[in-house]
Amino acid sequence: MLEEKNTCQRIVIDIISRFVENLSKLEFPDDRLYTSSYNWVKLEQDFVIVGISSLIVYFFSPIVEFIFLDVPSLVKKRTPCAWTMHRDGIITIRSPVQGELFEINRTLLKNPDIANKDPYFAGWLFKIKTSEKIAGFYNKVEFLNLHHYKVEIFKNELLSLISEFLKSDSFSTLQDGGKIIETLKDLLGVKRYLSLISKIFEIH
């Protein structure tokens, strides 16, 4: 029994360690601004391009469908402009500025997997013409500081759950008729996984 418990503990720690390590290694391009909900904004002459970050892809891949607001549409800041569908739910992508939504990435309607593979370039979501001052976003340095801070909180939240999992029957082996735990989502369950991401990374 003790040996089984130690094995379970090693499984949990390994899953959390690998997941957090990968989170810490995610890349964010220098030429973008970022929101606290992990969307990116690229400034052009009189419009902005908006997309999702590699963290959203990492948490929710595969993204299986995109739905967009009709174009053209006048939008205010935080108006929902796109909806990102994944296997366990949906994420709302809101306008970071006030202006006119004038173009969407129609390629994603037929091939959403592009965003899974290339979220910063070919997988951009939509473009908004705006005349307002661009403010309230994070540059890469600021965003990395925020990201690492959130990753640390996330890790601590996960570690605090270890004892709870070890007391449960979640780690029975396949030979015992149970389920093999391979991913963080397996470990937490879908509901808790999504709730924790929403709470810490502000992705809804």
* pLDDT more than 90, % of the chain: 75
Environment class of 20 (CB within 10 Å of its CB; exposed 0-12, middle 13-18, buried 19+): middle
- Tell me the domain boundaries of the chain: 2-24+143-201, 33-139
The pTM of the full predicted model, rounded to 2 decimals, is 0.90
pLDDT at 26 over 70: yes
pLDDT given at position 160:
85
Q: What's the pLDDT tens digit per position in 61-83?
A: 999 999 999 999 999 999 999 99
pLDDT given at position 13:
84
Q: What's the pLDDT tens digit per position in 129-178?
A: 999 888 999 999 999 999 999 999 999 999 887 766 666 655 544 334 45
pLDDT given at position 6:
66
Three-state helix/strand/coil letters over the chain? CHHHHHHHHHHHHHHHHHHHHHHHCCCCCCCCEECCCCEEEEECCCEEEEEECHHHHHHHCCEEEEEECCCCEEECCCCEEEEEEECCEEEEEECCCCEEEEEECCHHHHCCHHHHHCCCCCCCCEEEECCCCCCCCECHHHHHHHHHHHHHHHHHHHHCCHHHHHCCCCCCCHHHCCCCCCCHHHHHCHHHHHHHHHHHHCCC
Strand partners, 33: 41
Identity of residue 7: T
pLDDT given at position 161:
77
Lowest mean pLDDT among 2-11, 34-43, 75-84: 2-11
φ/ψ of residue 70, rounded to 5: -60, 145
Q: Which residues contact 24 (CB under 8 A, 6 or more apart)?
A: 148, 151
Q: Write out the CATH class of domain 33-139.
A: mainly beta
pLDDT given at position 33:
98
